Structure 1
């Protein structure tokens, strides 16, 4: 199975989701420390050149690959990847379940502004504290989103490609 966490930039909530998924962060809804947040691989490190790239984060305890992607505002990226997967399955007997999980609903306003200042304007002294504040505000929602994503991924429902919008994690 392949898990792909996606959102606008692909460097904040998606990196945190991948870290929770891979048990690189505490497995609870407790608030994270500043150090824990800033030490998440790829957190606030990806650039505009990374938009649209699948970023490999690792393999989970069940042998499943975990990726993230920054899709900008274009939610059609996930739909196109789904269609490509179904095409590969049909033409080449590609037989891998893929779960796309949207982390955008977990993003608080502080994180949006922090990302804009840090990644967009390159003003880290304003952006990074806002990103950390936002990450602390939403880490419990991201943890629950990841747990739900894994639960749905493990369920036998016959679907080969699952797209989770996760609107209930706001």
Structure 2
């Protein structure tokens, strides 16, 4: 199975989701520390050149690959990737389920502003503290989104490619 977490930039909530998925972050009743957030692989590190690239974060405990992608505002990226995946599955007869999971519904306003200042305007002294605050606000929602994504991957047998919009986290 392949898991692909996606959102606008592909560097904040997607990186946190991948870290939770790969158990690089552990869920507990406590809030994540600033250090934990800033040490997540790719968190606030990707640039505009990375949009549209599938970035491998690792392989989970069940042997499933975990990727992220930043899709900007383009609502056609994930459906196009689904169609490409189905085409390749049919043509090359590979039997790998793919789950696309949208992390955008977990993004608080604070994180959006932090990303705008840090990634968009390159003003890290304003953006990074806002990103950290936003990550602390949404870490529980991201954790629950990841658990739901993994459960859907384990229990949905009739589809080869699944797209989760995750609207329940808005």
Calculate the TM-score normalised by the size of structure 2.
Answer: 0.98
Matched, 1:134 2:134: yes
- Return 5+ residue gaps in structure 1 as ranges: none
Q: Secondary structure at the match of 1:118?
A: helix
> Hey, what does 2:32 align to over in structure 1?
32
CA spacing shift, 1:143–1:39, aligned 2, 3 Å: same
> Hey, what does 2:80 align to over in structure 1?
80
> Hey, what does 1:108 align to over in structure 2?
108
Query: What is the number of residues matched between the two proteins?
Result: 170
Distance of 1:23 and 1:6 partners within structure 2 = 18
> Hey, what does 2:148 align to over in structure 1?
148
> Hey, what does 2:160 align to over in structure 1?
160
- Residues 49-96 of structure 1 show CA distances to partners (whole Å, capped at 9, x for unaligned) of 000000000000000000000000012100000000110111111211
> Hey, what does 1:64 align to over in structure 2?
64
Distance of 1:13 and 1:24 partners within structure 2 = 14
Deviation, structure 1 residue 26? 1.2
- Give the CA RMSD over aligned residues: 0.8
Distance of 1:109 and 1:50 partners within structure 2 = 23
Deviation, structure 1 residue 29? 5.3
Equivalent residues of 1:29, 1:144 under 8 A apart: no
Distance of 1:3 and 1:29 partners within structure 2 = 26
Equivalent residues of 1:21, 1:60 under 8 A apart: yes
Calculate the TM-score normalised by the size of structure 1.
Answer: 0.98
- Return 5+ residue gaps in structure 2 as ranges: none
- Residues 5-60 of structure 1 show CA distances to partners (whole Å, capped at 9, x for unaligned) of 00000000000000000000013353111110000000000000000000000000
